[in-house]
C-alpha cells in the first residue's frame, strides 16, 4: 500500500465514521438501533454497491470477536451495580435456562419447517438465541423502564453471550462430525468454562481496581486506557485457560465500572467511545461480508425461524426461566417481546462458515435477514408497548454526577459533583452537608461563574462543586453526597 492509497483509505474510513455518527441522530428519532444503518452502509460499500471486496469469513469472525469484547467491556463499565444487584438471579436464569429452552424450541421449529438435520437445526437455534448487548444497550437506555426491568434486560444481554458461544462451538463440532461426545460432556464443559470465566473476570477486575486506587498515574488519560486494557486482558486470560472470555470481560468491566476509581466518568466516556467504534466497524464489516444478491432467497426461512423465535421460543424461555421469581405479568410480557437480536447472531453465524459446514452460507444469509427484519419490527414498538403495559417510569436514571481525581503525593482527592435536575441537593446549604472531617467544598461553578462558597451558601440545580477530601475519607464523602441527593438534608437522621 502506497501513501496515496493510505490517504484514500483514511478518507473513506473518516467518511464512514462521520456518516455513522450522524446515523445515531436518525436512530434516536425513529427508535431503531443504529446498527441497522451501519449494516446498510456496509451493504452499500460492498461488491454489489461501491465494489469493495470482502469475502473472508475467518477474518470477519476474528474481528467480530474483537468488536464484541469491546462492546461487552463497555457494557460492563457503564452498567451500575445498584441497577442489577437485585436482578442477577433472574438475569442469570434467562441467560442460561432461557437460552437452553430457546435453542431447543428454535431447533425443533427449524427441523420441522426447514427440514434441516437435527444438529444443524439446533445450531440455528443456538446462533439466534442470544440477545444482543449492543442492540439492548442502544435501545433500552432510551426507554425509561423501571430499574428492575431494565436491569434484567441489560444483565441478560451481557451474560448470555458466553453460554451461547459455548453452545455454537459445540454444535458446530457435532454438525461437522468432529465430535461424538455425549450431551453431558458438553454440559460439564459449559459449566466449567462459565465458572472459571466468572472467577477470572471478577479476579482481574478486583485486582485491577485495587492497584488503580493506589496508583496516582501522571495523566488522567492513562486511567481509561488501563481500565480498558484490564477488561480486554480478562478475555485473553480466560481464553488461554479455556474459560469463557466473553463472560470474563463483562464481569471485569462490571467490577471496574463500579469500583469508584479515579476519573470514573472519563473512563466511562472513553469506554463508550470504543463501544461505538466497535459497533460501527462490526456492522459495516458484516454488511461488507453479506451478499445482497443472496439475501432475498433467505427471506422465507428467516421469517419462519424468526416467528418461531419471537412468538414461541422467547416467551416460553422467559416463562421457564422466571417462573420462580413471581414477576408481574406486564413485566413478563415485555421481557417476552424485548429479546433484541443484533451483532452476536451474525458474528456467530460465521463460525459454521469457517468450519465448512454444508449449507452454512445459507445459514449466514438467514441470520442477517432475520436480524434486520425482526429488529425493524421489534425495536420501534418497545416504548409504545412499555407505555401500554404501564411500565414507563417517570423517574430519571441519574440525579448526581460524581467524578474523582487524585492529587498524587498529597494523599488527597478532588471530588467533582454536578447537581442534577431532580437532585435534592438543591436548596441545601453547604454547612448542612455535614461532610466527614477533612473534607470541604472549595469551589462552586454556577451559570458561567465560579466562587468560593460560605457555610450558608445555598446549592442549586446545575451547580458544579469541587470537594477536596483526604483519600481515606473519599468514599464516605461520595456516599454522603449521594444520600443527600437522594433523601435530602435529613439523610442519615431518619434511622437515628
In this prediction, residue 135 carries a pLDDT of: 66
CA distance 434 to 278: 44
Q: Does one domain contain both 377 and 423?
A: no
Q: What's the Cα-to-Cα distance from 29 to each of 23, 24, 139, 379, rounded to whole Å?
A: 10, 9, 11, 12
Q: Does one domain contain both 269 and 152?
A: yes
CA distance 463 to 447: 8
On whether the CB atoms of residues 405 and 262 are closer than 8 A, the answer is: yes
The three three-digit cell numbers of residue 449, written as one number: 461563574
- Local structure of residue 95 (DSSP, 8 states): I
Within a domain: 438: yes
On whether the CB atoms of residues 123 and 366 are closer than 8 A, the answer is: no
Within a domain: 344: yes
The C-alpha R_g of the chain, in whole angstroms, comes to 24
Q: Does one domain contain both 51 and 100?
A: yes
Give Cβ neighbours of residue 161 (< 8 Å, ≥ 6 apart): 68, 72, 130, 133, 246, 247, 250, 344
Q: Does one domain contain both 337 and 404?
A: no
* 335, 356, 388 - which closes a domain: 388
Per DSSP, the three-state class of 405 is strand
Q: Does one domain contain both 414 and 378?
A: no
Closest residue by Cα to residue 38 from 373, 375, 288: 288
Within a domain: 21: no
Element at 49 (helix H, strand E):
none
* 338, 359, 388 - which closes a domain: 388
Within a domain: 14: no
The three three-digit cell numbers of residue 371, written as one number: 436480524
* 388, 411, 446 - which closes a domain: 388
Helices and strands, number each (H, E), in the chain = 22, 5
Within a domain: 436: yes
CA distance 473 to 263: 17
In this prediction, residue 251 carries a pLDDT of: 93
Within a domain: 496: no
Domain count, the chain: 2
For residue 454, what are the domain limits?
A: 400-487
Q: Does one domain contain both 332 and 434?
A: no
CATH number, domain containing residue 319 = 1.20.1530.20
Q: Does one domain contain both 38 and 164?
A: yes
Q: Does one domain contain both 408 and 275?
A: no
Closest residue by Cα to residue 288 from 210, 350, 236, 226: 350
Within a domain: 139: yes
CA distance 413 to 256: 19
On whether the CB atoms of residues 305 and 326 are closer than 8 A, the answer is: no
The three three-digit cell numbers of residue 144, written as one number: 425509561
Burial class (CB in 10 A: 0-12, 13-18, 19+), 26: exposed
Q: Does one domain contain both 293 and 162?
A: yes
Within a domain: 22: no
**DSSP sequence for 132-192:** PHHHHHHHHTTS---HHHHHHHHHHHHHTHHHHHHHHHHHHHHHTT-----HHHHHHHHHH
Closest residue by Cα to residue 140 from 33, 246, 237: 33
CATH number, domain containing residue 410 = 3.30.70.1450
Q: Does one domain contain both 209 and 355?
A: yes
Q: Along the 496 residues of the chain, how does pLDDT read in single tens digits?
A: 677 778 887 888 888 888 877 777 666 665 566 777 788 888 888 877 777 888 888 888 889 889 889 988 988 888 878 778 888 899 999 989 999 999 999 999 999 999 998 989 999 999 998 887 666 666 665 666 777 888 888 888 888 888 888 889 888 988 887 766 666 777 788 889 989 999 999 999 999 999 888 877 777 788 889 999 999 999 999 999 988 888 999 999 999 988 878 777 778 888 888 888 888 888 888 888 888 888 899 999 999 999 999 999 999 999 999 988 888 999 999 999 988 887 788 888 999 988 888 888 899 999 999 988 988 888 888 878 888 888 875 444 445 666 666 665 566 778 888 888 778 888 899 888 888 888 899 899 988 889 999 989 999 988 888 898 887 788 788 888 888 888 887 776 644 4
Q: Does one domain contain both 301 and 444?
A: no
Q: Does one domain contain both 372 and 416?
A: no
With b meaning 16 or more CB within 10 Å and e meaning fewer, what string describes 196-231? bbbebbbbbbeebbeebbeebeeeeeebbebbbebb
Amino acid at each position: 500500500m502506497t501513501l496515496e492509497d493510505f490517504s484514500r483509505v483514511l478518507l473513506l474510513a473518516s467518511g464512514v465514521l462521520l456518516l455513522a455518527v450522524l446515523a445515531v441522530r436518525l436512530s434516536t428519532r425513529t427508535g431503531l438501533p443504529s446498527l441497522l444503518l451501519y449494516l446498510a452502509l456496509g451493504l452499500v460499500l460492498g461488491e454489489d454497491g461501491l465494489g469493495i471486496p470482502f469475502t473472508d469469513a475467518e477474518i470477519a469472525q476474528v474481528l467480530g470477536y474483537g468488536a464484541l469484547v469491546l462492546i461487552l467491556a463497555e457494557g460492563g463499565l457503564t452498567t451500575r451495580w445498584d441497577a442489577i444487584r437485585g436482578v442477577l438471579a433472574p438475569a442469570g436464569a434467562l441467560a442460561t435456562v432461557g437460552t437452553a429452552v430457546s435453542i431447543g424450541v428454535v431447533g425443533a421449529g427449524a427441523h420441522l419447517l426447514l427440514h434441516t438435520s437435527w444438529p444443524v437445526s439446533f445450531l440455528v437455534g443456538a446462533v439466534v438465541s442470544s440477545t444482543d448487548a449492543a442492540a439492548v444497550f442502544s435501545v433500552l437506555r432510551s426507554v425509561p423502564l423501571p430499574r428492575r426491568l431494565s436491569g434484567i434486560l441489560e444483565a441478560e444481554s451481557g451474560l448470555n453471550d458466553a453460554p451461547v458461544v459455548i453452545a455454537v462451538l459445540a454444535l458446530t463440532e457435532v454438525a461437522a462430525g468432529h465430535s461424538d461426545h455425549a450431551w453431558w460432556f458438553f454440559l460439564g464443559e459449559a459449566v466449567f468454562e462459565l465458572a472459571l470465566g466468572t472467577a477470572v473476570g471478577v479476579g482481574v477486575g478486583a485486582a485491577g481496581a485495587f492497584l488503580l486506587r493506589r496508583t496516582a498515574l501522571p495523566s488522567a488519560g492513562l486511567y481509561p486506557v488501563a481500565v480498558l486494557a484490564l477488561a480486554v486482558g480478562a478475555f485473553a486470560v480466560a481464553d488461554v485457560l479455556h474459560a469463557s472470555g466473553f463472560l470474563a470481560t463483562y464481569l471485569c468491566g462490571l467490577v471496574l465500572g463500579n469500583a469508584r476509581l479515579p476519573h470514573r466518568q472519563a473512563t466511562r466516556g472513553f469506554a463508550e467511545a470504543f463501544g461505538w467504534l466497535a459497533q460501527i466497524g462490526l456492522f459495516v464489516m458484516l454488511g461488507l461480508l453479506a451478499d445482497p444478491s443472496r439475501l432475498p432467497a433467505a427471506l422465507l426461512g428467516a421469517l419462519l425461524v424468526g416467528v418461531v423465535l419471537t412468538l414461541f421460543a422467547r416467551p416460553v424461555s422467559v416463562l421457564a426461566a422466571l417462573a420462580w421469581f413471581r414477576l408481574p405479568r406486564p413485566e413478563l410480557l415485555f421481557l417476552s417481546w424485548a429479546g433484541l437480536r443484533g451483532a452476536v447472531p451474525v458474528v456467530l453465524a460465521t463460525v459454521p462458515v469457517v468450519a465448512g459446514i454444508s449449507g452454512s452460507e445459507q445459514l449466514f444469509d438467514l441470520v442477517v435477514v432475520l436480524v434486520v427484519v425482526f429488529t425493524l419490527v421489534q425495536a420501534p414498538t418497545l416504548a409504545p408497548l412499555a407505555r401500554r403495559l404501564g411500565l414507563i417510569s417517570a423517574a430519571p436514571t441519574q440525579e448526581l454526577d460524581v467524578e474523582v481525581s487524585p492529587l498524587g503525593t498529597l494523599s488527597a482527592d478532588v471530588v467533582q459533583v454536578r447537581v442534577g435536575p431532580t437532585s435534592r441537593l438543591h436548596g441545601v446549604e453547604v454547612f448542612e452537608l455535614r461532610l466527614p472531617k477533612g473534607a470541604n467544598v472549595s469551589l462552586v461553578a454556577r451559570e458561567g461563574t465560579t466562587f468560593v462558597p460560605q457555610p450558608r451558601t445555598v446549592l442549586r440545580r446545575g451547580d458544579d462543586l469541587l470537594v477536596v477530601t483526604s483519600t481515606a475519607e473519599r468514599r464516605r464523602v461520595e456516599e454522603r453526597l449521594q444520600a443527600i441527593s437522594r433523601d435530602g438534608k435529613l439523610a442519615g437522621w431518619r434511622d437515628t
